[in-house]
Structure 1
Amino acid sequence: MKPLPPGAVIGILGGGQLGRMLAGAAARLGFDVNIFCPGESPPAARVCARHFDADYDDKAALKAFAEACDVITYEFENIPVASVAHLVSLGAEVRPGAKSLDVSQDRLAEKQFLNAIGIETGRFEPVASIAELENALKALGGEGLLKTRREGYDGKGQARVKTGDDLAAAFAAIGEVPAILEALVPFEREISVVIARGADGKTTAFDPSMNDHSGGILKRSTAPCGLSEDVIANARKLAEKLAAETGHIGVLALELFVLKDGTLLANEMAPRVHNSGHWTPEACATGQFEQHIRAVAGWPLGPVTRHFNVEMENLLGEEALAPPESYPVGTILTLYGKREAKAGRKMGHVVRRTGPAGQT
């Protein structure tokens, strides 16, 4: 595919905040954006040229969407793989492709894939019944995190369990669906590497951020992450390997646990722009949203030089209802246009520049 000219149309599967911010970046580069997402008025649909309001398995709507777009991407990993395959069968260019999507949708398959390409994870066991949960706990030392294999996010679909707990209740709490038990990893910190891979195979990686969670939800990301250059270089190599092995085009994120001795263990991947990279537009020469649009449009990737030290904080639920004047001078506020502030729901984020890059 030749690089898209300004005025071309980029389609986005999904209509949440990531799609909204991608649409803004695309518009700044001169592209029009079509959104495909069920729902009357999702956040991304209100800033795009055209909204296709249809279910992801609606083949007639997918055909119309494909005909209206020059290239198609996605903003979250639970788009049905079959829908992407159908778009490709119609001749649509979909970037990233189905492989990244397929690998990331099943926690068990994802960890098996990571291990197969030489990226270590913590220990894990598949769980499909209470009996298997009991055996998994024994294998992992009597304690672990029980997670659904599919669709859990932001702390949903998971429970911490140990030997002696009411395992039937824990399994029922996650819906009695196929699951995975992950060993508890004695990590010192968690980081994520947000990387972009272009259609030509070239990659650029943002500086890793250190991530802090609350209740299973990312609350804060800080750059720089405070690790040695050797550890950072190793983290980037792992992300580069993942991008290459999946044939990924666009931005992806690899979350990593950092052990006391600097060992890196992968937690999970996301085949898309990522919450832990929301600071990049305010701190780097090219932010993650522009970088993703550049990649899927076939443009050269932009430089990712970080000019500022930053802290990004998610605004959850009613935190986003604070009046803009309540934020300190220099705070950069982004709200997602969601119309209902549910508890724990990501409603926006703020970025604070804490000094020039290189300053400690």
Structure 2
Amino acid sequence: MKNGMIKRVGVIGGGQLAWMMADAAAKLGVELVVQTPAATDPAVAIAAGKILAPVDDTAATAQLATQCDVITFENEFVDLKALSSLESQGICFRPSTHALFPLLDKYHQRCYLKDLGLPTPKFSSFPTPHTPHPTPHTPLVLKTRRHGYDGQGTFILKNQAELQATVERLQTVPLLLEEFVPFERELAAIAARSVTGEIAIYPIVETQQEKQVCRRVFAPATVSQEVVEQAEAIVRTLLDRLQVVGVFGIELFLTPEGKVLVNEIAPRVHNSGHFTLDACETSQFEQHLRAVCGLPLGSPAMHTSAAVMVNLLGYEHSTSDYQTKRQQLAAIPQAQVHWYGKTESRPGRKLGHVTVLLDEPGKKQHDSAIAIAQTVEAIWYG
């Protein structure tokens, strides 16, 4: 680091989230160095340097630190205690390990939110199947406390038999038990906090999931100002108390009574913020690099009235690049196709996404967004 200027950012993880930082890095005059297990991971192709090692390989992270000015995260499957030791030796992580400690274990995350007075579903830790436990009401949600994402490690259970079978299958894996929230809609907030404490919040969005995997994002969400204010208050409390530096994604439930609950927190750029690449003055990826590099945050405002983002998920085992379908998607008016360059497709794998910008007002806008999402999925899934 020369004259206090950050020129090289290390990224732990080399998937599509790191890959989508490339244009922002070039714009800001920053180089990326990634720590990722495989040379075929998307971000390897755009990085100025790479260390091929698992993201929880702390020796590799120490090596990464010698090649960059600051280290950030594309995913959270890391050995946080070991990274904390590196941080105590002077290695700069943004967000800090202190900010991440309450979040990576989902039970600890729930407890932290409760301590802050932030609204969450009712929850408890869950014993192993070899110890007695109370019989909870169903339906309910069972989650693995670490390493779950895109629906993996999340189980919506309808009765006691499903609960018992799932617990027995997971054996001694630490678990979190939650009430099932009969939400009206799922929402998400993408927000950044700078080294000086400045906070920028993007428009609150609606997300639609299938099998606990995000399929569609509608920006902005068609909700009341009161709901927006509830969501933004949660964001500000969380980011300020954690002293976050960087972008966080916060998944939310909106109940039929109009109350906003925190579902989960992702301490990084997030799938629900991909629309910002095409629809906002500053993308979440540029915003994240601005924060970790100590630069002023950019405007999170949308430069279009609305946008819809649709994930392109794998639906078969294949090595196809789906060129014909991608051309059809690109022909949709005001559509941008982002293809992650992954070499293999498998059911549920995120291969790319499509964002379509909209200009219609009010109810017509929402109807158009739904119709466009259906068109994209008809082309993609056939």
**TM-score between both structures, scaled by the size of structure 2:** 0.87
Tell me how far apart the structure 2 counterparts of residues 32 and 245 of structure 1 sit (CA, whole Å).
Answer: 30
2:359 partner SS: strand
Question: Compared with structure 1, are the counterparts of its residues 3 and 115 closer, same or farther at alpha carbon in structure 2 (3 Å cutoff)?
Answer: farther
CA shift for structure 1 position 78: 1.5
Tell me how far apart the structure 1 counterparts of residues 68 and 110 of structure 2 sit (CA, whole Å).
Answer: 34
Tell me how far apart the structure 1 counterparts of residues 77 and 102 of structure 2 sit (CA, whole Å).
Answer: 11
Question: Compared with structure 1, are the counterparts of its residues 174 and 217 closer, same or farther at alpha carbon in structure 2 (3 Å cutoff)?
Answer: farther
Structure 1, unaligned runs of 5 or more: none
Tell me how far apart the structure 2 counterparts of residues 168 and 188 of structure 1 sit (CA, whole Å).
Answer: 28
Q: Does 1:345 align with 2:349?
A: yes
Question: Compared with structure 1, are the counterparts of its residues 169 and 82 closer, same or farther at alpha carbon in structure 2 (3 Å cutoff)?
Answer: same
Tell me how far apart the structure 1 counterparts of residues 60 and 110 of structure 2 sit (CA, whole Å).
Answer: 34
CA shift for structure 1 position 100: 3.2
What is the identity, as a one-letter code, of the residue corresponding to 1:104?
Answer: L
**TM-score between both structures, scaled by the size of structure 1:** 0.92
What is the identity, as a one-letter code, of the residue corresponding to 1:339?
Answer: T
2:173 partner SS: coil
Choose which of 149, 152, 171 in structure 1 pairs with 2:148: 152
Tell me how far apart the structure 1 counterparts of residues 3 and 226 of structure 2 sit (CA, whole Å).
Answer: 35
Question: Compared with structure 1, are the counterparts of its residues 357 and 282 closer, same or farther at alpha carbon in structure 2 (3 Å cutoff)?
Answer: farther
Question: Compared with structure 1, are the counterparts of its residues 61 and 163 closer, same or farther at alpha carbon in structure 2 (3 Å cutoff)?
Answer: closer
What is the identity, as a one-letter code, of the residue corresponding to 1:314?
Answer: N
**Identity, % of aligned pairs?**
36
Q: Deviations over 1:220-272 (max 9, x none)?
A: 01012011112101201101111111111000011111112211111010100
1:210 partner SS: strand
Once the two structures are superposed, the pairs formed by residues 63-74 of structure 1 within 5 Å of their partners are 63-74=62-73
Once the two structures are superposed, the pairs formed by residues 13-28 of structure 1 within 5 Å of their partners are 13-28=12-27
Tell me how far apart the structure 1 counterparts of residues 141 and 56 of structure 2 sit (CA, whole Å).
Answer: 32
CA shift for structure 1 position 292: 0.3
CA shift for structure 1 position 152: 1.3
CA shift for structure 1 position 3: 8.6
Number of residue-to-residue matches in the alignment:
356
Question: Compared with structure 1, are the counterparts of its residues 40 and 322 closer, same or farther at alpha carbon in structure 2 (3 Å cutoff)?
Answer: closer
Structure 2, unaligned runs of 5 or more: 366-382
CA contact (8 A) 1:127 1:136 kept: no
CA contact (8 A) 1:145 1:181 kept: yes
CA shift for structure 1 position 330: 2.0
Tell me how far apart the structure 1 counterparts of residues 116 and 218 of structure 2 sit (CA, whole Å).
Answer: 29
CA shift for structure 1 position 206: 0.2
Q: Does 1:329 align with 2:333?
A: yes
Tell me how far apart the structure 1 counterparts of residues 111 and 214 of structure 2 sit (CA, whole Å).
Answer: 24
Tell me how far apart the structure 2 counterparts of residues 181 and 57 of structure 1 sit (CA, whole Å).
Answer: 27
Tell me how far apart the structure 1 counterparts of residues 268 and 135 of structure 2 sit (CA, whole Å).
Answer: 31
Q: 2:187 maps to which residue?
A: 191
CA shift for structure 1 position 60: 4.1
Question: Compared with structure 1, are the counterparts of its residues 52 and 297 closer, same or farther at alpha carbon in structure 2 (3 Å cutoff)?
Answer: same
Q: 1:296 maps to which residue?
A: 292
Aligned-residue CA RMSD in angstroms?
2.2
Q: Does 1:206 align with 2:202?
A: yes
Tell me how far apart the structure 2 counterparts of residues 87 and 163 of structure 1 sit (CA, whole Å).
Answer: 46
